[in-house]
Chain A
Amino acid sequence: METIFGIAVDGIAYGMILFIISVGLSVTLGLMRVVNLAHGAFAMVGGYVASYAAQAAGLPYAAALVVAVVLTVVATLPLERLLYRRIYGSANELNQVLLTIGLTFVIVAGVNYLFGPTLKRIPLPDLLLGTVSLGPKAIPAHRAFVIGAGALTLLGLWWLLERTDFGIRLRAAVDDPAMAAALGIRTERLYLATFALGTGLAALGGVLGAELLPLEPYYAIRYIVLFLAVVAVGGAGSIFGSAAAALALGIVDTAGKYLIPNFGEFFFYAALILILFRWPHGFFKGRTA
């Protein structure tokens, strides 16, 4: 019983981290139909900004987090204008893959040049150090914080997409861009805003997930399969789907590693194949929230 409880707690904690670093990709992939392989690169940029802000500029953790998200969004917005706008549309998948891989390479090289190849860290405040005990099981305080932040992000996105004017317009534009434009929705602006939302979430994930996925220049390439897995299982564009997928994969992965560690890798990918076999379009097909 205790074992099952332990696996569940660790699995949920891992799953929430997966959710928070992947949900930005679900937004760009599901709502804008862009296979944005540079998602990891944006997350990494966020992480590096936070690391720099906290270590060189001496900002506290919370401030560094805000600075990282804002600066990453500001820095990547021109990319939407210059690059992404030219590759929107579902007939462009291959070009999207190629362009975003190219962009990822450039960002990796740039980060490597500016910050060097060694690992970087984001110092945690004392509050997030140590452990929190949940009955018989103790988890790191930082993970408890990420679980909370993940839940808030989930609710916030749900509210934004389902309950606000922005969300209604966005969903209209996704379903039928021509009709939306005819109705006077300024799709260009809407896409710009959604892109900003996607990169902002990427940066947030990069900072909050840095304890688990340490920052180094190859971060951008190393974890992209993981992000894609969460989005594919959840169903692109579905916020609750991403959360459910992240939790499911987190628990499967944790259970596999705990019970039969020597075959941990098999477990994850076998689960992925089985899930996608049963739900070829992910858990929540085509649902926005």
Chain B
Amino acid sequence: MTTMADHSAPETTTPGNTLMTTRRGIDWIGIPVVAAVGLAAYWLLPDDLGLLTRILSSALFVLSLDLVLGYGGIATLGQAAMFGAGAYAAGIAAVNWVADPFALLAVGGVAGGLVALATGALILHARGLTLLMLTIAVAQIVQEVANKARDWTGGSDGLSGIEPAPVLGMFRFDMYGRTSYLFALAVLVVALVVARRIVRSPFGLACRGVKEDPLRVSAIGGSPKLYLVALYGVAGVFAGVAGGLTAVTSGIVGLDSVGFSWSAEALVMLVLGGTGRLYGAVIGTAAFMGIHHILAASDPFHWMAFIGLFLIGIVLFLPGGIASGVERLVGLVRGKEDRA
């Protein structure tokens, strides 16, 4: 949807293919920029690593949403089901059996992927509002299961006592959060690289085809639903890894990680940053959580009004999210260079 809007939105003055080249250019440098900015933040804001780690693991979650929404056109308000499944699976594994952080991420990814495949096969025949409701219902049921299984999950008290072993046996997760931050940054960058490979693979392109014209895909012999379920499963792995990452870096998992508001917040962050770009997920998450943090520190009572006005402003003046603004800016600079 948003990809379509990009071509038809105000910037139609720029020829379509210039925009495409701009976008490809940014796409290429996007991942190194995330890595560089991430490392720079490590040196520049050494006292804020707790918040920054939360931003990184949340960005990974929003990235998983971008895969389903931006590349598969699946509108969902239940992505937290996979995030929470991953977080609880990693947490339970950490408390009972394994301590290696990489193994815990794998456990989270598998759990997220399985939940996504199982529920995706059940609900992805639907579209629009119906699909939205089904995803909400699935997440609510997962949350209720987590609430009921108190012996395993701690219920509403949360699952605490997750103590992962040092990364590679050397770097301990300490209270300054240095290990957590660099670990999360590495995971996010690797995830971005993998996600980029996936969306550019024949499979990713086919999913895009389904999104834009499901009829044509079925006409040439593909099954649109099969592609969507597969994509949903892949994104579920990403969301599960994000959940596992949160469990590892924060040491606790709460029912909020399966909550409706977490799914909704992710959607807001994604649309804020821009869908269908991967790095839009990172920009949106950093912008939303950064603004929240600053406003909540200065005036906790009224940050909602600011963030609300910000959202309205984005829709009215920058449809396509912050990323499309960046692209326009870069396009403008490039255009000048070309002329010069």
Contact = CB atoms under 8 A, between A and B. Distances in A.
Interface of A: 29, 35, 83, 86-87, 91-95, 97-99, 101-110, 112-113, 221, 225, 228-229, 231-233, 236, 263, 265-266, 269-270, 272-273, 276-277, 280-282
A112 B272 CA distance: 25
B339 interface: no
A276 B316 CA distance: 34
Contacts of B126: 276, 280
15 contacts: A93-B75, A93-B128, A98-B272, A98-B311, A102-B310, A104-B308, A106-B305, A106-B309, A106-B312, A109-B305, A228-B129, A236-B129, A263-B148, A270-B141, A276-B126
Interface of B: 1-2, 4-5, 75, 122-123, 125-126, 128-130, 132-134, 136-138, 140-141, 144, 148, 260-261, 264, 267-268, 271-272, 275, 301-302, 304-305, 307-312, 314-316, 319
Given A92-B1, A95-B5, A273-B123, 12 more contacts: A95-B271, A95-B315, A98-B271, A103-B308, A228-B129, A229-B133, A232-B132, A236-B129, A270-B141, A273-B137, A273-B138, A277-B122
A225 B138 CA distance: 13
Given A86-B316, A232-B132, A105 B304 contact: yes
A280 B130 contact: yes
Most interface-central of B130, B144, B310, B316 (chain A CB within 10 A): B130
A223 B168 CA distance: 46
Nearest to B264: A101
Q: Is the interface of B mostly helix, strand, loop or mixed?
A: helix
Contacts of A263: 148
Contacts of B260: 225
A102 B128 CA distance: 21
Contacts of A93: 1, 75, 128
A269 B271 contact: no
A94 B1 contact: yes
B311 A101 contact: yes
B178 to A, nearest CB: 35
B137 to A, nearest CB: 4
A215 B129 CA distance: 27
A272 to B, nearest CB: 5
A167 to B, nearest CB: 23
Contacts of A228: 129, 132-133, 136
A103 B129 contact: no
Contact of A105 (B128, B272, B308, B314): B308
Nearest to B309: A106
B123 to A, nearest CB: 8
